Structure 1
Amino acid sequence: MFIGIRLRLAACLLLLSTPGLAAKKVDLDYQLRFLPASAEAEVQLTLAKGELVQSVKFYLPKAEHYVAFKADGQWTEDGRGHATWTPASGKASLSYRVRINQLEPSGAYSALITADWALLRGDDLVPAADVVLYDKVELVSRLQVELPKGWKSVESGWPRIGPNRFRIDNPAQSFDRPTGWILAGKMGTRRTRLGETDVTIAAPIGSGMRRMDTLTLLTFVWPHAQAVFPRDPRKLLVVGAGDPMWRGALSGPNSLFMHAERPLVSENGTSSLIHELVHVLSGIRDTDASDWISEGIAEYYAIELLRRAGGMSEERYQQVRKKLTLWSSKVNNLRGEHATGAVTARAVVLLQELDLEIRQRSAGKHSLDDVAQGLMRMDRVNTESFIELSESLIGKPSKVLDSKLLRLPKAKPAA
């Protein structure tokens, strides 16, 4: 009897291990070619086995930026910002051109291509899409970049697997896109390895980017950032450029942008570099008018990590706190889809108070760090789940979070 059971078990294990039941891997190759003369990029997606992909539905919020679509298979546009590609069998490609330059209302560019370089987000090269795959099919995505004559190299936040070639792998997505910041052209770089992460600082030559200053600050705060946000991306890319690029800072997958003239540490004691680094490492995403959480956490640790690294005395920290309190004194509610600077400042003050409350009421066993690590594990976080998580550490209702600041404003009655 036992021999029969063992034989049947062995047969089952053999069946489960056969290649026929394993996931079928299908190559998805992105080819990117920059066209400085027309301020465009040419993008081509190639599936090695188109018959294993049922459809790819693209979202085109800026449809005018994408032109000259050519597809192997069926390509349909609904006129409402959606387009669907049904690939042909065998090797199937979709190609189009993308307008790169994006001029903001301020007169600065959030994406730009010149005769010597291009700086943009890969999210705009390949728009977001929903892919429908046949059973047990997995896409293996790579990006190959063709550079214009005279351009030196290209950098992205994804691991390099060859000359101007990158492996795109996001386990959370079935349709891997080359998201995050991309810089190509005549550039200067500085590189190091921090923990398990390869860090690259890159900017166009002559842009005034303080590459070594940036690398030094990251080196100081990295161990403290890792202690709070125990996530080790394989690569982190920091890109920068001067005018006419947008004079701000913005994170993306495995990457972030900072204007070359933006200070690493501002006069009010915060750091845009560390703020965006926290966004990259934490991956915290909010919903339900709770942008104060992700922005507040990023700004809180932009100050706190500097402090822990020895870059801020206790006296300076208290001065920073006073300035934040004064700046946000007129804020009476934190809820909203996009937190303003004053709202973010008020959120930082609240988080500082919450950290003290958690430490005191848990007898030093917990702190806001534990809240931040809990938020990292959530797909989306809102104000209610933030309060629930915080109070689970305190063991009772929070006095700090029992505040009108966190209640949704009442809708105004219709006229």
Structure 2
Amino acid sequence: MYLDSASELKMEKKSHRILSIDIMRGLTLFLMLFVNDLYEPGVPKWLLHTEGSVDGMGLADWVFPGFLFMVGMSIPYAIASRRKKGEATMDIFGHILIRSMSLLLIGVLMLNSGRINSELSGIDRNLWAVLLYISVFLIWNAYPQSIVLKNLFIGLKLLGVITLIVLLVIFKAGEIDDPSWLKIEWWGILGLIGWGYFVAATAGLFLKSRFWPVFFLWLFFVGLNILSQLGLTEALNFLKPVFGVIIDGNVPAIVLAGLTVSTILTNKELGSKRIVVVITILGFACLGIGFFLRNWFILSKIYGTPSWAMVCNGISMLVYAFLFFLIDVKGVSKWGLAFGAAGKNSLTTYLAPDVIYFICWGMGFHVFLYKQEMNPLVAVAGSLGWSALMIGFYILLSKINIRLKL
């Protein structure tokens, strides 16, 4: 059984868990759900994504890199947890590989759910998507440790694998005279997370999360991002269909920024207040570098410019420094219990709402009335309410042992 949030908080305080990491990860997830749900014609532009060719950014342009930053921050603690269980370095690396490939696979499948031709495939696209998500949950769910139910859980995993294989076999996109199968046009949100996680987790493992090696690796990927934007990585074009996210440098640089900050947190020689000061200074430095780079590169999430990445890193560092001071130094944490719970199992929180979307669309349920509203207050309030409801939905799922763990 899962503990309630209050009990979890008490146990975490005793174990000196850094609550601000879970809470900020949960907050970024909440904002991701919020901006993804917004009815764009009815809300202010500063909440939305800025067009790729426009020099600027809205809230939605920070949310995803904010989450990537938190992925990096979590890595040293995940590795330390596995080491405490007695896992060897190569065993941990094997887990990193499997987790990364799982994120890539799920990301590609999610993208292709929008391409399916229902007539060619013989199945409604919404039903195909719902079955896809169900199979993902069956395969990657963290089932409870139970000798009595062990065979049942194995059977559920096998059912998920069979379902996924059938979905892949019947999948057809395109037109009758020109059918096609799965395509990797880009890796999707989860795929980008997978590549960034792979680079940063591998670095954290083999560099042992030491500040200076991680810091210089972060700078290396910032430089790689600059070279890529200048068109100076064309010699590596033959690798880009698969490793393009790494060669571009943008996503790995953001995740490595989080890993760098996490190495500051784990520095036992620094007191809590000094940690806040150091992260704050680093945050302002990133903002300064970002606006300096703006002389050559516009702020653009779509293009993945180094100026945008550094500005986003600066914002993430300043927000985290404030939350660390508020939550872990001052102990003001009760307000973030729900966000912290969602942040512990971010993949479940992120994917579960999509199941509801596809069910509603497939059944023709018109429940998202606020998504047709031109009134900004109604449109924004509706999406905020939806995001809060989905955080509660995850907490409900966790209580019945439904939570993804790659």
When normalised by structure 2's length, the TM-score is 0.25
More strand by share: 1
Q: Comparing both chains, which one has the higher relative contact order based on Cα–Cα distances under 8 Å and sequence gaps of 6 or more?
A: 2
More helix by share: 2
Q: Rg larger in 1 or in 2? A: 1
When normalised by structure 1's length, the TM-score is 0.24
